[in-house]
Amino acid sequence: MEALARLRNCPMSARKMRLVVDNIRGKSVDEALNILKFTNKEAAGWLEKVVLAAISNWTNKTESLSPEDYRLFVKTAYVDGGSVLKRFRPAPHGRAHRIRKRMNHVTIVVENKVKIAE
């Protein structure tokens, strides 16, 4: 059984977030959380919350089964570009330069490797 967690409109460019997401894709949940804990990027803090939310969603879906017993892993993880806030900054000679404040959407899917007995 798989569970999904999404983070929408995260105030960071998708390119920066993808650098960290690529490190945890396909890893076990424990290993992914360890990688995120010791990654020195802002994206790691956001992703740690999303992975924990996905684990919590899996636990709620499976009537409070323990995630440790079923060997959860990050099945899919991807980052899509979000909206862009456009601002202008004064430039020399009366001109203006555009500033783009980018956002992204993160989707994490976790699944168990051990089959759930029904």
Fold type of domain 2-112? Ribosomal Protein L22; Chain A (3.90.470)
Q: Write down the domain spans for the chain.
A: 2-112
Q: Report the pLDDT value the prediction gives residue 46, as an integer from 0 to 100.
A: 97
More confident: 115 or 57: 57
Q: Which residues of 30-43 are buried (b: 16+ CB within 10 A; e: fewer)?
A: eebbebbeebeeeb
Q: Which H or E run contains 18?
A: helix 14-24
How many CA atoms within 13 Å lie on the side-chain side of 43? 20
CA dihedral over 26, 1, 66, 63, signed as positive or negative: positive
Evaluate whether 103 touches 9 at the Cβ level (below 8 Å).
yes
| pTM tops 0.85, yes or no | yes
Q: Report the pLDDT value the prediction gives residue 118, as an integer from 0 to 100.
A: 62
> How do residues 19-69 score in pLDDT, each as one tens digit?
999 999 999 999 999 999 999 999 999 999 999 999 999 999 988 788 888
